[in-house]
Amino acid sequence: MPIQTFGPSGPTVIGPAALLQAKAITKRFGATLALDALDLDIADGEFFALLGGSGSGKSTLLRIMAGFETPDSGRLLLDGADIAATPPWARPVNMMFQSYALFPHLSVADNVAYGLRRAGVAKAETGARVAAALAMVGLAGFDRRKPHQLSGGQRQRVALARSLVMRPRLLLLDEPLGALDAGLRERTGFELRALQRETGAAFVMVTHDQEEALALADRVAVLDGGRIAQRGAPRAIYERPASRFVARFLGAANVLEGRAADGAFDSAEAGATFTDIPAGTVALALRPERLRILPPGADEPNTAPGTVEDAAFRGDDTLLLIRMAGGALLRVAHAEEDGAPPERGAAVLVAWDADDVVPLAS
């Protein structure tokens, strides 16, 4: 159902109904512009990832959603009501902190019950909900432990239970897997997704880890310099990055500079000309795993000559650094099933499918 709001320019219809809407949010810290007129919609029940490097503004945006920072300008609408000035304790939004922020003097059960007690929930109901929340994260029977008696993974679950027990419609997660060791991350990631489906709450996760964002989220927004560089489904933005920044940030694509003219793109540094390229293209992206290596002299379209400068075995593939005739250095992931990788110093042809060439507009 569309929501009607009354802005300074009269009534405007926004919709379809989004749970949370950020409208032209700007935030400065001194001379630094952390968020630059940022717009964002979070739908009810979706898993959304804010992906960016340090200083991209992703954490500031999350803290504004939680109420720990107030935007300098712009509006933050929850179910259509502006909550930008609502203090954190009055927002129906909960957050899981990167450091977990468990209360050290309280037991696991008291930590989880903290929010319910503040809300004045009856004692019996509090007990039942705490037990259910702890069971949901697999910590039944840990009620009486203190936080310092738990492992990192267990602490993360307590933090999760403490937020989920409040039954928020919007749960904010600040680098939820950041403090876990590699082995636990994958499993916890799957569990997070299962919890999100089970509770039906919208999850907004901040992360600097592109694999984490792609693996967990329904939609990803890539942030750069306080603006959203691109947003969309993980597969869509991975396969069709819109800018050089997104292409490099997600999956470290090769970005080829050059000039577009008459439907073709001429890249001197790659020593190749690409056809069927739309006007306005400023660069091309080529994924390392979509490039193939052919012996020199092979008779195929869409190839360019180069020399293997270095090679690194990575288990399931070998990463080749190929110096192209025009000077560009391309990363090529050579899969194991394609046979032995070429030696260092070997002359090769780099080949691609026309479909895998992604034109970039900025």
Query: Which residues are at the interface with other proteins (CB under 8 A)?
Result: 66-68, 87-90, 93-95, 97, 99, 101-106, 114-115, 118-119, 162-163, 166
* Half-sphere exposure at residue 50, Cβ-oriented, CA atoms within 13 angstroms: 32
User: Least distance (Å) from other proteins to the CB of residue 101?
Assistant: 4
User: Toward other proteins, which CB reaches closer, 162 or 185?
Assistant: 162
User: Toward other proteins, which CB reaches closer, 58 or 334?
Assistant: 58
Closest by Cα among 322, 320, 323 to 336: 320
User: Least distance (Å) from other proteins to the CB of residue 223?
Assistant: 22
User: Toward other proteins, which CB reaches closer, 66 or 223?
Assistant: 66
User: Least distance (Å) from other proteins to the CB of residue 88?
Assistant: 4
User: Least distance (Å) from other proteins to the CB of residue 103?
Assistant: 6
- Taking the chain, what is the end-to-end CA distance rounded to the nearest angstrom? 35
Check if the beta carbon of residue 321 is closer than 8 Å to that of residue 310.
yes
DSSP category for residue 342: P
User: Toward other proteins, which CB reaches closer, 61 or 308?
Assistant: 61
Check if the beta carbon of residue 336 is closer than 8 Å to that of residue 316.
yes
DSSP category for residue 148: G
User: Least distance (Å) from other proteins to the CB of residue 347?
Assistant: 56
What totals of helices (H) and strands (E) does the chain contain, helices first?
8, 23
User: Toward other proteins, which CB reaches closer, 165 or 256?
Assistant: 165
User: Least distance (Å) from other proteins to the CB of residue 233?
Assistant: 29
- CA-CA-CA-CA torsion sign (93, 63, 74, 212): negative
Q: DSSP H helical segments within 210-291, as ranges?
A: 210-216, 234-239, 244-249
User: Least distance (Å) from other proteins to the CB of residue 104?
Assistant: 6
Structure tokens at 112: 């989880």
Structure tokens at 217: 């989220």
Q: Which residues pair with 282 in a beta bridge?
A: none
User: Toward other proteins, which CB reaches closer, 101 or 215?
Assistant: 101
User: Least distance (Å) from other proteins to the CB of residue 119?
Assistant: 5
Cα-Cα-Cα-Cα torsion 208, 197, 135, 114, nearest 10 degrees, comes to: 60
User: Toward other proteins, which CB reaches closer, 90 or 340?
Assistant: 90
User: Least distance (Å) from other proteins to the CB of residue 180?
Assistant: 18
User: Toward other proteins, which CB reaches closer, 207 or 230?
Assistant: 207
Check if the beta carbon of residue 344 is closer than 8 Å to that of residue 321.
no
Residue type, 306: G
Cα-Cα-Cα-Cα torsion 303, 308, 314, 316, nearest 10 degrees, comes to: 40
* Non-local CB neighbours of 220 within 8 Å, separated by 6+ positions: 48, 49, 51, 213, 214, 231, 232, 233, 234, 237
Task: Sort strands 47-51 and 202-207 into parallel, antiparallel or unpaired.
Answer: parallel
Check if the beta carbon of residue 52 is closer than 8 Å to that of residue 222.
yes
User: Toward other proteins, which CB reaches closer, 117 or 187?
Assistant: 117
